[in-house]
């Protein structure tokens, strides 16, 4: 892939497809991690005299203008972090965006409205996507793809627009791909993958692919209960995907044949209900009460997982170990993050809820080898899939 160093950007309008899909509470941004991750590329272009037009999405407005998904609060925060005023277009590629783009001077930055307000952005129809990409292309002379969190989507601003303009990968995308190639091609071993989150069905493909590359799979979070059920344990009222039990049994057998160690919880925090003030206690996995649900890994499991990470040289982590948003059930995710920091491994936090947990629980992001901005994109890369946004940048 070409990088922004390969582009002559001075005096040129550069469309930067960023990932600014941040969580909002009204108009308040509760986690600006993705905006911060986009700063280096935007600022480097600005310093080199580019006229930067930033495009991004927020939420799933389904092709309709939805005020609660407006990027206006993001424009304000982006300006604060850059230390410059960031112009804001009230549409994506219409009159406001065209006027703002045409009026930029060297080094200035503008953000257009949520790209997903346009049906053509996410359309499965090539012609509809292409028509929107044509309009976006009128806003710029060059294209920089830097929204890693969206590169697994065949969307107009990700896939079709770089076909219409000279293009390059931004620093964020380049770094993400470099890290993921390190995980898939030549990981330093032992190589462990920690998977958590709610559903095993979300990670079936990545598990199948990792059985051929990882030395050890450590399973926590809600998805662990389907694994425990497949091993013959009763899991009470815990999250369970019964339709995936047979598939998980096959994976367990395949892992044994291939010498891949699968590490499951040995105890869990069992709660009487899904609530922050629920009465709860640690119980061994062979004694989960029928009326209780597991909302975190237990203290013995936290020690086990830390032991299994201590000798690793490479670790990829995607998905929290419990309901970390509730203080009572955050201990497992906190312990896992600390175990990653304490290990000697090159640690990659695979975006999404894992990255949010790192920040919410107060960890120094620099203590990890790399924190990805794209959970879904990271997983699909590890599944061995071709990511449309990366393929477009490689042309």
Query: Which span out of 209-213, 324-328, 378-382 was modeled with the highest average pLDDT?
Result: 324-328
Which residue among 87, 352, 374, 389 is the active-site one?
352
Share of the chain above pLDDT 70, in %: 100
pLDDT at 352: 76
152 CB-contact burial (10 Å; exposed 0-12 / middle 13-18 / buried 19+): buried
Lowest mean pLDDT among 117-121, 223-227, 371-375: 371-375
State how far the Cα of 360 lies from the Cα of 326, in Å rounded to an integer: 11
**Residue 238 pLDDT class (50, 70, 90 cuts):** very high
**Is 20 flagged in the annotation as binding?**
yes
Rounded (10°) angle between helices 331-342 and 352-360: 90
Nearest CA among 226, 231, 228, 255 for reference residue 243: 226
Q: Say whether 153 counts as a known binding-site residue.
A: yes
98 is an annotated ligand-binding site residue:
no
Residue 101 has pLDDT above 80, yes or no: yes
Q: Measure the CA–CA gap between 47 and 50, rounded to whole angstroms.
A: 7
Cis peptide upstream of residue 251 (ω within 30 degrees of 0):
no
- 322 as an active site residue: the answer is no
Check whether 58 is labelled as a binding-site residue: yes
On whether 8 is known to bind a ligand per the annotation, the reply is: no
Instruction: Provide the whole-model pTM.
Output: 0.88
| Neighbouring C-beta atoms of residue 276, cutoff 10 Å | 12
Strands 293-297 and 267-271: antiparallel
Give catalytic status of residue 199 as yes or no. Answer: yes
Would you call 170 a catalytic residue per the annotation?
Answer: no
Q: How far apart are CA 360 and CA 367, in angstroms?
A: 15
Give the residue-averaged pLDDT of 25-44: 93
Would the annotation count 7 as a binding residue? no
Catalytic residue among 12, 13, 17, 34: 34
Q: 353 labelled as ligand-binding?
A: yes
Contacts of 370 (CB under 8 A, 6+ apart): 175, 179, 346, 347, 348, 349
> Is 294 known to sit in a ligand binding site?
yes
Q: Is 69 helix (H, G, I), strand (E, B) or coil?
A: helix
DSSP label at residue 3:
B
Closest CA to 18 of 48, 43, 47: 43
Catalytic residue (choose from 2, 164, 199, 231) = 199
Alpha carbons 163 and 148: distance in angstroms, whole number: 17
Residue 239 in marked binding region:
no
Q: How confident is the model at residue 124 (pLDDT cuts 50, 70, 90)?
A: very high
Q: Is 376 a catalytic residue?
A: yes
């Amino acid at each position: 892939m070409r990088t922004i160093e390969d582009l002559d950007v001075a005096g040129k309008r550069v469309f930067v497809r960023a990932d600014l899909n941040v969580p909002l509470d009204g108009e308040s941004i509760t986690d600006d991690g993705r905006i911060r991750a986009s700063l280096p590329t935007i600022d480097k272009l600005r310093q080199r005299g580019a006229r930067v037009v930033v495009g991004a999405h927020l939420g799933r407005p389904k092709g309709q203008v939805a005020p609660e998904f407006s990027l206006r609060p993001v424009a304000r925060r982006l300006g604060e972090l850059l230390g410059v005023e960031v112009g804001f277009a009230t549409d994506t590629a219409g009159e406001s965006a065209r006027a703002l783009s045409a009026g930029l001077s060297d080094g200035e930055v503008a953000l257009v409205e949520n790209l997903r307000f346009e049906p053509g952005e996410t359309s499965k129809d090539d012609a509809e996507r292409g028509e929107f990409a044509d309009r976006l292309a009128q806003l710029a002379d060059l294209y920089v793809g830097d929204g890693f969190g969206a590169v697994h989507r065949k969307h107009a601003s990700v896939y079709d627009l770089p076909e219409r303009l000279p293009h390059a990968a931004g620093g964020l995308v380049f770094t993400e791909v470099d890290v993921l190639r390190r995980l898939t091609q030549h990981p330093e071993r032992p190589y462990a993958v920690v998977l958590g989150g709610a559903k095993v069905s979300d990670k079936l493909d990545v598990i199948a692919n990792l059985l051929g590359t990882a030395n050890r799979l450590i399973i926590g979070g809600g998805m662990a209960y389907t694994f425990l059920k497949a091993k013959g344990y009763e899991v009470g009222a815990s999250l369970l995907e019964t339709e995936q039990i047979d598939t998980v049994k096959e994976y367990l057998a395949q892992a044994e044949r291939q010498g891949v160690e699968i590490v499951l919880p040995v105890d869990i925090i069992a709660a009487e209900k899904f609530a922050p003030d629920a009465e709860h206690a640690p119980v061994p996995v062979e004694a989960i009460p029928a009326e209780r649900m597991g909302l975190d890994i237990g203290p013995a499991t936290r020690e086990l997982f830390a032991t299994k990470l201590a000798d690793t040289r490479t670790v990829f982590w995607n998905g929290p170990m419990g309901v970390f948003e509730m203080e009572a059930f955050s201990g497992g995710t906190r312990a896992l993050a600390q175990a990653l920091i304490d290990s000697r491994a090159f640690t990659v936090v695979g975006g999404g809820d894992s990255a949010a947990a790192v920040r919410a629980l107060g960890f120094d992001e620099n203590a990890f080898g790399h924190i990805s901005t794209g959970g879904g994109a990271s997983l699909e890369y590890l599944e061995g899939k071709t990511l449309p946004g990366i393929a477009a940048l490689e042309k």
